[in-house]
Amino acid sequence: MDSRRPGALAGKLVIDLSRVLGGPYCTQILADHGAKVIKVEPPRGDETRDWGPPFHEGDAAYFLSLNRNKHSLGLDLSIPAGREVLLRLLRDADVLVENFKPGTMERWGLGFEESLGKRFPRLVHCRISGFGSDGPWGGFPGYDAIIQAMAGWFSINGETESSPIRHGLAMVDMGTGLYCAIAILMALSERENSGRGQYLDMTLYDCAVSLMHPHIVNYQLSGEIPGPTGNAHPNISPYDTFRTRTTDIFIGAGNNRAFVKLCRELGRPELAGDTRFRDNIDRVNNRDELKVEIESCLIRLDGEEISDRLARAGLAAGPIHNTAQVVGHPHTRHRQMNLERDWYRMTGTPIKLSRTPGALRSLPPRFGEHGREILREFEFDDAAIEDLAKTGALLFERRT
């Protein structure tokens, strides 16, 4: 990540009031690509600073992986002096991101419709919540796993006979963060024409439902309730894990041409003409028999070697790796997905822009690290800064 060139969002100011995962993941994407992100932390700080082990100098890896390229300001928004500081920051801001419980900003007099949208007409205000502010579940708290459960993710995860299982990645939170980044960029683009900001009502629930593909659309068309299929795909075969002599691998053949090539590479060209496997619908209906036939070829072979050979033949195949193997893989390094500076070792950005690449400009901040610097930039003099610290509105250390 080249820090010498300005990013695609250089000149944009983002005020980040969010905590935990979805919001910080979104704003780190913006920060990686040049936006100035001021992370406003509550008196106790972002709770993910404590979500370890492992830790580095008191901050958990969980927090460190989501908050690079940001400036930290400790601010108590529950008192008027803290809210006045926030309003000063918003004078020049392009984007506000927050994930308070719906109604909180309104109780503070900071709702978009009645306050912020009128005072700052160019502001893009992105709110992230579990379920939104209205509807049967409006205002209820929502965390990744609860949303996974309610949006059907548990029900389609796991082996055929297993109980409902949570996905091992927090993809509701991270998926929402990605959707929010897209929504913010859309709103900024539209502002170029209208000159006006807008309110973005983003919920974990909506994002999780939208990501339930193809299970919801399959149900809506067929009326059949999907269940877990293990590693197999409900609509494609072969698209599954297969045993080899050394390690399990994954093979996907999404069309007849790919299946014919796979059969040829495995030394079983006759399988492509077998009536049980001729078309994808046949292979889906006879997936168990097909898996036996494929594994009878693979069980004598080295998994890494056959995966490489199939990939070189133009087929989608790869070995199943653990985390250490992913980090150490030469392609991970080639794609600059291992980001290292001093003690900092995290994943790089997957967004590769040719002229304005993402960059590591600064390491994740300590709590309140940039408080004085930020307030001076927004025309607070030293006496005013000290007064804010005395009132408890401005913090340089976390409250316990």
- Whether residue 163 is contained in a domain is answered as yes
- Would residue 400 count as lying in a domain? no
Residue 63 lies in a domain: yes
355 and 326 co-located in one domain: no
Instruction: For tokens 């007099």, name the residue.
Output: 109
Residues with a catalytic annotation lie at 173
Residue 55, token pair as written in the block? 């830790």
Residue 332 C-alpha from the chain's centroid: 19
What's residue 57's pLDDT? 96
**Which contiguous run of DSSP H or E holds residue 60?**
strand 59-60
Q: Which residues, listed in sequence order, are joined to residue 56 by a DSSP beta bridge?
A: 59
In whole angstroms, what is the distance from residue 224 CA to residue 64 CA?
43
31 shares a domain with 143? yes
- What's the mean pLDDT when you consider all of the chain? 96
The single-letter DSSP state of residue 194 is H
d(C-alpha 233, C-alpha 219), whole Å? 15
Residue 1: what pLDDT? 64
What number of helices (H) and strands (E) belong to the chain?
A: 17, 14
- Are 49 and 161 found together in one domain? yes
26 near 364, Cβ under 8 Å? no
- Shared domain check, 185 and 71: yes
Q: How many CA atoms lie within 13 A of 162 on its CB side?
A: 14
Whether residues 158 and 282 share a domain: the answer is no
Q: 246 is written with which tokens?
A: 């050394």
Q: 63-89: string of b/e by CB count within 10 Å (b at 16+)?
A: bbbbbbbbbbbbbbbeeebbbebbeeb
Report CA 162 to chain centroid distance, whole Å.
Answer: 27
Angstrom distance (rounded) from CA 27 to CA 156? 30
**Is 310 inside a domain boundary?**
yes
In 3-state terms, the chain is what percent helix, strand and coil (to 5)? Answer: 40, 15, 45
Q: Do 184 and 313 fall within a single domain?
A: no
305 contacts: CB under 8 Å, gap ≥ 6: none
Average pLDDT over residues 32-57: 97
Which domain covers residue 244, as residue numbers? 239-330
SS3 376: helix
Is the separation of the CB atoms in 71 and 374 below 8 Å?
yes
Q: How far apart are CA 71 and CA 363, in angstroms?
A: 9
β-pair partners for 200: 126
324 & 356 share domain: no
Q: Is 14 strand, coil or helix? A: strand
The whole-model pTM stands at: 0.94
> How far from 326 is each of 74, 175, 231, 330, CA to CA, in Å?
36, 21, 19, 9
The strand pairing partners of 394, in sequence order, are 75
Q: What confidence tens digit (pLDDT) does each residue in 294-338 have?
A: 999 999 999 999 999 999 999 999 999 999 999 999 999 999 999
Residues 200 and 273 in one domain: no
The two beta strands, 344-347 and 394-395, are unpaired
pLDDT at 45 over 70: yes
Residue 299 lies in a domain: yes
Residue 227 lies in a domain: no
DSSP string covering 96-149: EEE-PPTTHHHHTT--IIIIIHHH-TT-EEEEEESS-SSSTTTT----HHHHHH
Same domain? For 123 and 160 the reply is yes
Residue 297 lies in a domain: yes
Residues 198 and 321 in one domain: no
Find the helix or strand (DSSP H, E) in which 8 lies.
none
Other C-beta atoms lying within 10 Å of the C-beta of residue 379: 9
CATH number at residue 248: 3.30.1540.10
Domain end (from 301, 330, 359):
330
Instruction: Determine the average pLDDT of the residues in 33-43.
Output: 98
Dist. CA 158–CA 180, nearest whole Å: 29
Question: Region 357-366: what's the mean pLDDT?
Answer: 97
pLDDT digits (tens, 9 = 90+) for 133-181: 999 999 999 999 999 999 999 999 999 888 999 999 999 999 999 999 9
Q: How many domains does the chain have?
A: 2
CATH number at residue 72: 3.40.50.10540
If asked whether residues 270 and 374 sit together in one domain, one would say no
| Bond from prior residue into 350 cis (ω within 30 degrees of 0) | no
| Per-residue pLDDT tens digits for 235-292 | 999 999 999 999 999 999 999 999 999 999 999 999 999 999 999 999 999 999 999 9
112 located within any domain: yes
Q: Are residues 207 and 69 in the same domain?
A: yes
Distance from C-alpha of 359 to C-alpha of 3, rounded to nearest angstrom:
5
Q: What is the DSSP letter of 273?
A: G
Amino acid letter for position 70: K
